[in-house]
A = this chain, B = another copy of it.
Amino acid sequence: MLSKVGRYENVVEPFHCDVNHELFMGHLGNHLLNAADFHSSDRGFGMSYLNTVNKTWVLSRLVIEMEEMPMQYRHFFVETWVESAMRYFTSRNFRVEGQDGKTLGFGRSIWALIDLDSRQPSNLLEINNGDIVKWVETDKECPIAKPGRVNMSSDVALCGERQAKYSDVDVNGHVNSVKYIEHVLDMFPLEKFVENRVARFEVAYVAESYFGDTLRFYREHSAQTDDGEEYTLSIAKRNEDGTETECVRSLVRFKKK
């Protein structure tokens, strides 16, 4: 009998580490999304099954708060569980545990179910007669704020531009969720990560972009506190008519080391 909470072991590979010898946030995100995939597949509502009924999960929000990042070569565990399942959205939480049992951080995510042809939202309670509900775990704690609205001023200057390349796009031809995390953090200079740690990372996936799209990067310094600062970041694609469509909105909270 499977438990409601899935638990997956990982190791911090050397090429997945930043200059601090700590796991890159993008790779941590990848481990969380893998855990979500394994957990849902094992319980009958994963991507592989959904594809047979012409549906798929779409990640809408991801937020990660870390007290400490796993270090190079260390093992760590990702726990994941479904916190709630409503008609059009399900929220899934994560806990990251170090090899010594210490809690390193938590994550929250929100997913929609869509129809593969229409790309429209689909009622996730109709999958396997609402089976997902029986996996909902409400007792396990996830003591970080839910993803919120991330505001950005309208006059923020362009801070970079890049074409979406072969390595950016996933099996569906979309720029993948993990690569966006890399692109967001690549808007900062290296010293930012040497002098601070990323205490909260939040991302909303708003629209899809594709191979060849010109991605435009925006960064706004949105708050300064005694122990750190906060930035709002946005990635938009340039449309043929010169307008832009926002693909990703993100918030990064740095804490001074």
Copies of this protein in the assembly total: 2
If A166-B186, A169-B19, A186-B166 touch, whether A13 touches B26 (CB-CB below 8 Å) is: no
Contact-residue size bin, chain A (C-beta under 8 Å from the other chain): 35 or more
A243 at the interface (CB under 8 A from B): no
Task: Give bound CA distance, A52 to B14, whole Å.
Answer: 17
Inter-chain CA distance A26–B15, complex, in Å, is 11
Interface string of A11-25 (1 = CB under 8 A from B): 001110111110010
Residues from chain B with a CB closer than 8 A to the CB of A15 are 30, 33-34, 170, 176-178
- Complex Cα gap A72–B51 (Å): 14
A213 to chain B, nearest CB (A): 11
Residues on A lying within 8 angstroms of B by beta carbon are: 13-15, 17-21, 24, 26, 30, 33-34, 37, 47-48, 72-73, 162, 165-167, 169-173, 176-178, 182, 185-186, 188-190, 192-193, 211-212
